[in-house]
Amino acid sequence: MRREINSVVHSHADEVVPFSISKATKLRPVWHAAGRCGYEIPVWDIADKFGDTNLLVQNGEQGDDLAQKLGSNRVVLMRGHGFAVAGESLIDAPWMSVYLPHNARMYMDALKLGEAKILSPGEIVEFQKIQSNSPAMQRAWEYWARRAGCET
């Protein structure tokens, strides 16, 4: 159990799903805002343990297996389905779920041009030092809240 996790987001973002099914290319962070997602983004394949399914997590055993694949990471891709994000704060998980698809699109575009330079482990560590109460993350949160019709 990861006691630091206080928010979770699940998404089916079209930009991310191709990386959940590609055997040749792993999704890697290339954009600063995706540094929060971490250096390694594992892919969970429900078929590895449960055989042929509808690719939906439908019971605790499947959920536990997904959580095990997430491990100490912040994001896990779900083969042919989407991704799940585990955040330390209410702002943290939405941040990653918004910026991971942007990163996926940028990475895919860069790969069309040739080899892409991913963020270094050190760059990711530096970005992850930014707290969710930082001005940049607060501005993003306030923007998303206003768009959703909520007050911060």
pLDDT at position 152: 64
User: What is this structure's pTM?
Assistant: 0.92
What's the start-to-end Cα distance of the chain, in Å? 30
The domains located in the chain, with CATH, are: 7-147 (3.40.225.10)
Q: Which residues pair with 11 in a beta bridge?
A: 83
Residue 38 makes CB contacts below 8 A (sequence gap 6+) with 29, 73, 74, 75, 124, 128
- 130 sits in the region (left: phi over 0; alpha: psi -120 to 50; else beta) called beta
Average pLDDT by stretches of 10, the chain with 152 residues: 93 98 97 93 98 98 98 97 96 94 98 97 91 85 92 71
pLDDT at position 151: 78
User: Locate tokens 């055993």: which residue?
Assistant: 61
